[in-house]
Structure 1
Amino acid sequence: MTPKRESDVTVVGAGPVGLLLAAELALAGADVHVLERLTEPDQAMKAQSINVPTAEALDRRGLLPAGTSGPRFTGHFAGMVLDPDLVDWSDPDFAAHTAADRCRMFAQPRLEALLAEHVARLGVPVHRGVEFTALEDAGDGVRVDTSTGALRTGWLVGCDGGHSAVRRLAGIEFPGTAAELVGYQALVDIADDEKLADGWVWSAHGVYRYGPQPGRVVTLEFGSAGAQFARAGRAAPVTLDEVQASLRRTSGTDVTVTALRATPTRWTDNTRQAADYRSGRVLLAGDAAHVHPPFGGQGLNLGIGDAMNLGWKLGAVVAGRAFETLLDTYDAERRPVGAWVLDWTRAQTGLMRGDAKSAALRGVVGDLLGTPAGTTYAVKKISGVTQRVGPSGDHPLVGALVPDLWLRDGSRLVDHGHGGGFLLLDRTRDGVFTRLAAPWANDVTAVADDDRTPTGVLVRPDGVVAWASDTSDGAGLDDALRRWAGVR
């Protein structure tokens, strides 16, 4: 099916970020479609888990499938596995986000398939085999050239990966640090796996990990050899011989790989962030806006956060419910989160080198991560439970992701937000907050509950708390509604 020639928003890229963004735009009422260069979904091995904000984003839209609950997931930092028994799970930051925290073992291909079904239910067209080739921002819209012809769109969003054509053609700079390693991830059959150790292992030639699931291998090679591999084979398919050669070098064995059981991936620690997330009517999200090594699957989670943040804002601008200035908060809120993730992965690269100085530092950090305080700190950061964006206020909840707020009927506040829009928890006895929000009734779902604290919470469509109160006077609610839901 050929893409239609006029739309409110065109999203380039049908990975998880592009699909979720398109879904959020559709929920906000925008006419949106997606263009994708690939003819089929990418089945290459990528992120194997999601963080708490991503799990909660799916949960807020009713997308977490039944049966996804599992053990608590902690992850690793620079190859040092974090012991869940050392984590203080009673910490208030964990305790506030328990409903979705056991749903985090969620591989990227599965997530992409789930989101593809979601956008299909919403009626969003996804056009595969269509290559984006040029753009012209006319001020009141964008002309887009594709392999199937030209089209005009109100807004163009690049979700087309680290080598984003949208970013390049929009003239957006991409500063950062160059690669010094090449890594591989593969699911393989091995004839003599007894030659490999479980877990992360360092050698003079790099690092490898075998496991935790059977046949999964990860390798990292530093220095000029790794950089040479990255330059020579970035676009070429990863072969069995390539995976075997890297595994042999990093393990120092003659281990034999007999088969690839999934499409392997090749990656580097190239770490960059777009100079601007928006240029006129062109915006960036996901890897198009930031790239870094994939330690802990942080790139997927960062992109999902971008999509949730941008979707409702751009949808409100398209519908005329908000001024364009609302889009300025997208860069302002997401850039610091992206910069933190880039530094978090840079720190791990520094620790994972094979030189003596990095090994010594790894010993010190390993000792710290072997303590309850150190492990709890790292897991809180990796899980995203401490993540804050944007607005600040007198109440500690403002700017944080909405916690699990259980209601008298056994539901949670977020269960009432599957269709998008703002949520307003009203625990006043006479519905004071609901009456104050009456001018925004089309965009704000008010949910009444028992009289207890917090007495009121206003939640943006992306799950960020925009206002909260422990009193019943409603001070600041009108200002928050005007700021985020538009002037009425």
Structure 2
Amino acid sequence: MNEETEVIIVGGGPVGLMLAAELRLGGVSTVVLERADAPAGHPRALGLHARTLEQLALRGLQEPFLATGVRVPSWHFGFLRERLDLTRLDSPYPFMLAFPQDRTEAILEQRALELGARVLRGVAVTGLTQDADGVRVSVDGGPDRRAAWVVGADGAGSTVRRSAGIGFPGTDADTYAYLGDVRADAPPVPGYGVQNEKGALIVAPVPGGLLRFTGYDPEHQDAGRRELTLDELREITTRIGGADFGLRDPAWLSRFGNATRVAARYREGRVLLAGDAAHMHFPAGGVGLNLGLQDAMNLGWKLADVVSGWAGDDLLDTYHDERHPWAEDVAEHTLAQTALITATSPTGQALRRLLGRLIDRLPDLSLVLARRLAGLDVHYGKEGELAGSRVAEAGDALLDGRPAELVVEGRPVMVRPDGYVGSLIG
């Protein structure tokens, strides 16, 4: 096949754009096809956890995030009142950074464009076919496009995943949450959250003077995907939180379910998956975007090496082997958090109180859960071995100023147990 480009990425969200930048570091010609004509006007995800910030630092990208993001020193697990202490994390970034997804997307798009990727908006992919030499992508209202490889970063309803025949096993939604980005004349105190026999409500700041009110309402589970109204949001907050907080001027009202699925495989021939196309789950703990960005970091250098001829395409099988288990892990702990968030019965409330007391009295339990949310437990080798472990564990020098000279450009480096860190190229 006479390819138009070496790699087509379907989906121009943060994951697709991060992957495009990684591929360009490897010298791979890359085109991003995005269905939407323009970026979303509201942020979906609001948080970046420690491991994601570490990986952004390896590319010298951390400063735009740290400069304006809000550092949150403690975070919730399943809306429990007893917060997890993130300051104990063994990371240069012992916090959760409150940072809206639309600004993350803007930073990563600028990065991808500066490195030479092409980002085409208003291009809806409708299907694809592949053979041993490449992939042909069908586009609504336009000519087919061709590439040697295609990556689906096109969300939970991924056209790429379906067209490639990759299964998406898991569970359907049986619980629905509400979300409203609104203004409030009588806002609650910062860090406000409540969970009781009437439901759950947590409030977080959103750029532009807005507040995000989100949680679980047991009285409106039959509403499913029906549109949420401002009057309904006021009624929910009054019933659960005891006040309507003077809610007005909604910028975004939505409902979402707890459908939880992980792709059966992350690769089918010359087609790969990343981000929500590979996994979906309830957004408990704010880990979804982080999981996808870490997919992009794992896949980027591998696909670049394969395209450039530095490695055989069996290297791409390690992408599934390494990332799939951690998507399953996130699926498990978000389901567990969902059970805690929706535990409004007397027995559920008792369980929450018991677990909360354990977190409060057992600092090590708090740390275990904090590391899980932060992604610091992720490793690809055997426990206790440097190979496959986080850079923070394998060589602190890489997180102490050395990235600027060694890994920002995506070069391979050698890290030895004796502390030696050096470039393998040039």
What TM-score do the two structures reach when normalised by structure 2? 0.88
1:415 deviates by 4.7
2:200 — aligned with what?
207
1:398 deviates by 2.1
Within 5 Å, give how 1:114-263 maps onto structure 2.
114-147=107-140, 148-191=142-185, 193=187, 199-211=192-204, 215-222=211-218, 225-226=220-221, 228-233=222-227, 239-248=229-238, 250-251=240-241, 257-260=247-250, 262-263=251-252
Q: What letter is aligned with 1:374?
A: L
**Residues 77 and 83 of structure 2 are in contact (CA less than 8 Å); yes or no, is this contact kept in structure 1?**
no
2:318 — aligned with what?
329
Q: What letter is aligned with 2:77?
A: F
**Residues 34 and 122 of structure 2 are in contact (CA less than 8 Å); yes or no, is this contact kept in structure 1?**
yes
The farther-off stretch of 325-334 and 53-62 is 53-62
1:215 aligns to what SS in structure 2?
strand
Q: Which residue, out of 6, 21, 43, partners 2:19?
A: 21
Deviations 1:311-338 (A, max 9, x none): 1111111111111110110110001110
**Residues 184 and 218 of structure 1 are in contact (CA less than 8 Å); yes or no, is this contact kept in structure 2?**
yes
2:233 aligns to what SS in structure 1?
helix
1:273 — aligned with what?
262
2:181 aligns to what SS in structure 1?
strand
Distance of 1:242 and 1:278 partners within structure 2: 43
Within 5 Å, give how 1:360-439 maps onto structure 2.
360-371=350-361, 372-389=363-380, 391-392=381-382, 396-403=385-392, 405=395, 411-413=401-403, 415-425=405-415
Distance of 1:326 and 1:230 partners within structure 2: 42
Within 5 Å, give how 1:249-328 maps onto structure 2.
250-251=240-241, 257-260=247-250, 262-328=251-317
Q: After TM superposition, where is structure 1 displaced by more than 6 Å over at least 4 residues in a row?
A: none
2:63 aligns to what SS in structure 1?
coil
Structure 1 residue ranges without an equivalent (≥5)? 427-452, 460-480
2:418 — aligned with what?
454
1:216 deviates by 2.9
Distance of 1:230 and 1:220 partners within structure 2: 12
Distance of 1:336 and 1:32 partners within structure 2: 28
Distance of 1:245 and 1:139 partners within structure 2: 57
Q: What letter is aligned with 2:168?
A: F
Go from structure 1 to structure 2 and tell me whether the alpha carbon gap of 1:192 and 1:63 turns closer, same or farther (over 3 Å shift).
Answer: closer
Deviations 1:345-389 (A, max 9, x none): 000111122122221211111111113222222212212222212
2:37 — aligned with what?
39
Structure 2 residue ranges without an equivalent (≥5)? none
**Residues 60 and 415 of structure 1 are in contact (CA less than 8 Å); yes or no, is this contact kept in structure 2?**
no
Q: What letter is aligned with 1:170?
A: A
- Root mean square deviation of aligned Cα: 3.0
1:241 deviates by 4.0
1:204 deviates by 4.1
**Residues 175 and 274 of structure 1 are in contact (CA less than 8 Å); yes or no, is this contact kept in structure 2?**
yes
Go from structure 1 to structure 2 and tell me whether the alpha carbon gap of 1:187 and 1:254 turns closer, same or farther (over 3 Å shift).
Answer: closer
The percent of aligned pairs where both chains have the same amino acid is 36
Larger Rg: 1 or 2? 1
Distance of 2:187 and 2:241 partners within structure 1: 11
Distance of 1:415 and 1:222 partners within structure 2: 53
Deviations 1:141-171 (A, max 9, x none): 1111102221111111110111111112222
Distance of 2:86 and 2:21 partners within structure 1: 36
- The count of aligned residue pairs is 414
Go from structure 1 to structure 2 and tell me whether the alpha carbon gap of 1:341 and 1:79 turns closer, same or farther (over 3 Å shift).
Answer: same
Distance of 2:289 and 2:37 partners within structure 1: 21
